[in-house]
Amino acid sequence: MARPLVALIGRPNVGKSTLFNRFLGNRFAITEDIPGTTRDRLYADVEWADHSFTIVDTGGLDLDTESGIPAAVRTQALVALDQADILLFLVDASSGLTPVDTDIASILRRTRKPLLLLINKVDNIKRELDASDFYQLGLPAVLTISAYHDRGVADALDWIVDHLPPASSEEDSQQSEEIRIAIVGRPNVGKSSLVNRLLKEERVIVSPTPGTTRDAIDTILEQGGRRFRLIDTAGIRRRGRIEAGAEQYSVFRALQALDRADIAILLLDATEGVADSDLHIASYVQQRTLGLITVMNKWDLIPRDAVAATDTLQHIRQRFDFAPYASVLLSSAATGFHVNHILEEAAHIWDQRQQRIPTAQLNAFVHDELQRHQFLRRGRLLKTLYATQVDINPPTFVFFLNDSSLIHFSYRRFIENELRRHFTFSATPLRLIFRGREDSSEAKSGPAGHGAASRH
């Protein structure tokens, strides 16, 4: 799970980037060096009062300048409404309440997400009077601040921390460095043998406690300076003893493990080849946008010259062609053959899942690679206008289209493949979100008739 996301929204010049840079200042930000210039820096990881969260400066998403302020505001709101856990709405006391502010407020209010109105440029007590206009908006939480003079910023952070979604118990900042792995596959393919082999060969930091029945028990391992969490190790090891009829339960258990994982290791049995149920499990993995390593186990049972390893690898790739990012390995849990490659591959996938592509690079890609191709659908031209990466693990991108009703499976796949080819995402699935201009049509309720909205 990613950190909670806090979106900073407001029309141009109200002070968003000034406030964002305050958040980034040494006092608050834990440094995470996203490559690119400051302008590209849309995210700040902030630690405050023992909590950590990410603030996104939606002002950096104002790429559609040709259509002016409403489009820019709409873009920000669309991203924020979809992705954020908390909304910070920034307005400018020195310019007073504007119709655009009223529009934004009505859209944000509808999301029912925690919403804080920050009235900026209240540089001193005398200026508090300028802020009174904004109380008409009727938003329940209001603070007056001065981003420039660092007035009220700490209060805003306190408010954020009070409204963060409850963290799940296993999430703290340390664990974000762990690579969480679910080992899945049909009965008897060798899952518990693989786990036992890994426990023997790698440095075990936290062992599973045997004998506990109900709860998932994980094991933490180290290999090559990396930490791996094998999810529900006890469940896997106990599986051999589960009687017939408990198969449903073990599938359910595997799904629960997938929900907590970054990467799935799908074990196959070399003596049986790829079964349909293997493809089902892979589709669960795919739905969750996890990394996937398919491992053909029991390779020691295949006579030397019966089949070439390359043919087998090729065959597996074909069967799993809906997941072109999947890694394919051969192994033997019995002899230990290639077992250490499995975690190395997981680390490689994990690294790709942590990448952030700066918005400028992404939009150069949109311009150079996507806009050159013309996609016609129902006689209309589908165009990607711009894009932004909104999350990692999995890398998540929002693409803004001229008309999202024209989106088609093949175009989605085209974009994903181009992204994979152009940036180093060969080994991880990507999450793509599409938004169109018409997404704002449901919210033409503001006085100026140009509101921003999403489908929610």
> What distance separates the 2 farthest-apart alpha carbons in the chain?
87
Rounded to a whole number of angstroms, the minimum distance from the CB of residue 347 to ligand GDP is 22
Q: Can you tell me the distance from the alpha carbon of 44 to that of 46, in angstroms, rounded to the nearest whole number? A: 6
CB of 43 to ligand GDP, least distance (A): 15
Instruction: Give the separation between CA 452 and CA 438, rounded to whole angstroms.
Output: 10
Residue-wise DSSP of 333-395: TTT-TTHHHHHHHHHHHHHHHT----HHHHHHHIIIIITTS-EEETTEEE-EEEEEEEETTTT
Separation of CA 180 from chain center: 15
Ranked by CB distance to ligand GDP, the top (closest) residue is 190
In whole angstroms, give the CA distance from residue 109 to residue 54: 21
Cβ proximity to ligand GDP, 92 vs 416, nearer residue: 92
Distance CA 56, CA 44 (A): 7
User: In a 10 Å sphere around its CB, with 0-12 CB exposed, 13-18 middle and 19+ buried, how is residue 379 labelled?
Assistant: exposed
For the beta sheet containing 43-48, the strands, ordered from the edge strand earlier in sequence to the opposite edge, are: 43-48, 51-57, 5-9, 86-92, 115-120, 142-144
Kindly state the smallest distance separating residue 19's Cβ from ligand GDP, in Å: 7
Please say whether the beta carbons of 392 and 2 come within 8 A: yes
Q: Which helix (H) or strand (E) holds 56?
A: strand 51-57
- Using the minimum distance from each CB to ligand GDP, give the nearer residue, 70 or 429: 70
The encoded tokens of residue 288 equal 């969750």
For ligand GDP, the binding residues (CB under 6 A) are 10, 12-18, 59, 120-121, 123, 146-149, 185, 187-193, 239-240, 297-298, 300-301, 332-334
Is residue 252 within a helix (H) or strand (E), and if so which, with residue range? helix 247-259
**Nearest residue (CB) to ligand GDP, 285 versus 432:** 285
Residue 183 CB, nearest distance to ligand GDP (Å)? 9
User: Which tokens go with 197?
Assistant: 């082999």
Closest CB to ligand GDP among residues 301, 381: 301
Tell me whether residue 18 or residue 355 sits nearer to ligand GDP (CB atom): 18
Least distance CB 233 / ligand GDP (angstroms):
11
Number of CB atoms found within 10 A of residue 79's CB: 24
10 vs 358, beta carbon nearer ligand GDP: 10
Task: Indicate the residue among 192 and 384 with the shorter CB distance to ligand GDP.
Answer: 192
Residue 197 beta carbon to ligand GDP: minimum distance, rounded to whole angstroms: 8
CB 87 within 8 A of CB 55: no
Q: How far is the CB of 10 from ligand GDP (least distance, A)?
A: 6
- Which CB, 190 or 291, lies closer to ligand GDP? 190
Assign 265 to helix, strand or coil. strand
Which CB, 147 or 433, lies closer to ligand GDP?
Answer: 147
Nearest distance, CB of residue 252 and ligand GDP, angstroms: 16
Q: Report in angstroms how near the CB of residue 271 gets to ligand GDP at its nearest.
A: 8
